[in-house]
Amino acid sequence: MRKLRRLGVGGGAALLAAALIAPAGVAHADTTTVTDQYGASAASQVVDLDLLGRHVSFGAADVNSTLDAVTKQVNAEAKGLGTLLVPASQAIARFNDPASVNKACALPQVDQVTGLLSGTTQGLNLPVVGNLLGGGALSLGGLLPKLDINVGCAEANVGGNADSFLAESVGGILQIHVALPQIVSGLAGTLRDTVKGLGVDGLPVVGGLLGGQSSSAVTSATSSINNLLGGVLGNVNLPVVGNVTQVLNLNTIAPALAPATTVDGLLKSLQDGDLIRVDLGVATARNAGDLQSYLSQAVAEGGSIDILPNLLGSGKSLLKIDVMKSDAKVSIDRNTMQAVPAATNTLVRIESALLPDLGLSSLPIVGGLLGSSGLPVVGSVVPVINGLLGGIPAAIPGQVTGLLGFDATVKGLGLNAGDGYIELGPGMSVSVLCDGLVAPLCTEISVGAASAPTTTADGRTRIESSAVTIHLLKGLNTLTAGLPIVGGLGNGLNLGTILGNGSPIGGLVSGLVGGTTGLSLGEPTDVPGIRISLAHAVAEAGGTKVMGANEEKARQLDPVAAAPIAAPALPRTGGLPVDATAIPVLLGASAGLRTLVRRRRRNA
């Protein structure tokens, strides 16, 4: 009973207080973004090239950008390069920059450079260095392989605003055709006339010249063609041991020749065909941002390389190398600020119908590096056993080496293999065509190790794809040893670096570029043959977001008029201490309490 009475009194006091006290307002704060900044860059390249003693780049793409989402400021720069042979072949784009060049092409200028490199530029008088057997003088230009280079245009574009933008650049495609030197193609042309005079030019190679009816004309033609093949590829006096397939001759290539290939067709492919054909796709780089994400991405399309294309007829190469597409990407979620890196590493596929007979071997280990690739041995997925990578011996160009069989080599080097092909993934390497008479075509192939994401000094997340290094014609310096040339070719002339400053032609053509020509032959190098690095893509991105709060003072929930200045209070002599409008509330509360007390008494 007393508890209920105390409750009733307390409840009445509470109601009275609620009636007498009006709400003054609510204090609160607004969440704001103090910092919301991002930065990114991406880069890829079609190819970095060492060509017969010259170093030059083709098809580079670079993009970098920054964004301040609070101040609505975005900056981006996109660059695309055709080739450093023509420095003006660069496209560049920036926001609000009237000097931007969105597309740049270099085809006419590249033709001038290739004319110099091939010794065919009009007015370029190269010295005579010897005489051909049978008459005629040999110009130094006759030793140069004729170059045909097609460079795609470079492009660069930026657009949008701080809420949504795109910056992108493209390094153009690259096609390089390296023809056989004039001296070699001339020999093939002379032999075509010879076999035509013998009346065997229309015979099929397989089933006619080989495996057909024997005659003095067939025997003579067969011997001459075998000598030509040996002369094209190296020193015909090199002693050969073991299997005859270590020598590139008609018996070697016969199983892979197209059935319809005639004697004249085979010789024509040597007279008019290419020594090397390179076809590479574009390189692209892009940065993009919107309200949800910030992206950095680079892509290298890869391509193909053919050694002695169409030698086997019907468009079949002696050796074909395919380099698959690779890319690197970092994406930032602007809500969670999580960076997600991803990379697709390239694969290299080597195809040849004669692959088991082309001297597959390990790369030599030179100063902790894999051959001439520049890649460290520690990046290989294959262990070093007894000083040899995978325990597999390496071929020595110009010498006949005791190599292991095809199957043992594939297993030891960890390669994937199928009918007529092998595949290399990250951390794998192999050499081919380095043993015996084919040594001038010696080719080393390496794929860099896969890389884990890293964090840069400024906090960005960085990822890159594996790079591929392919060194073609590494033994090219030995090519002239077997050619039937009389005269001064032994005076320090190295065909593999013939465009370098140390050669007679390198110094000559270097003086014809630069200055007002706007052309460049690149930097001199001592790397023989053709070494290319490709399929490399790099991307990085990062961001910072800081949230804060603006504190606000308590304010009235509803707007009210300014209260009048109160008059001094007088002594109360009567009336109520509350406003008259509160009387009904108080009476109702009192009646409710009386009813509640009566009910409790009856139930007691």
The amino acid present at 114, given as its one-letter code, is T
Determine the Cα–Cα distance for residues 209 and 216; give it in Å rounded to an integer: 11
To the nearest 10 degrees (0 to 180), the angle between helices 216-233 and 263-272 is 20
Share of the chain above pLDDT 70, in %: 67
What tokens does 436 get? 């015996």
Report residue 231's pLDDT band, with 50, 70 and 90 as the boundaries.
low
Report residue 438's pLDDT band, with 50, 70 and 90 as the boundaries.
low
Better-predicted residue by pLDDT, 565 or 146: 146
Please determine, for residue 37, whether its predicted confidence score (pLDDT) is greater than 60.
yes
Burial (CB count <10 Å: 0-12, 13-18, 19+), residue 179: buried
DSSP character string of 296-352: EEEEE--EEEEESTTTTSTT--SEEEEE--EEEEEEEETTT--EEEEEE---EEEE-
Determine the Cα–Cα distance for residues 331 and 295; give it in Å rounded to an integer: 5
pTM: 0.76
Please determine, for residue 466, whether its predicted confidence score (pLDDT) is greater than 50.
yes
Helices (H), 71-144: 107-118
pLDDT at 120: 52
pLDDT at 372: 83
Range among 171-175, 332-336, 471-475 rated most confident: 332-336
Determine the Cα–Cα distance for residues 345 and 381; give it in Å rounded to an integer: 15
Query: Which bin fits 601, alpha (ψ -120 to 50), beta or left (φ > 0)?
Result: alpha
The residues pairing with 204 across neighbouring beta strands, listed in sequence order, are 262
**47-61, 119-133, 177-191, 404-418: least confident range:** 119-133
What tokens does 603 get? 């139930």
Taking residues 113-124, what's their average pLDDT? 52
Cβ(16)–Cβ(585) under 8 Å? no
What tokens does 187 get? 């020999």
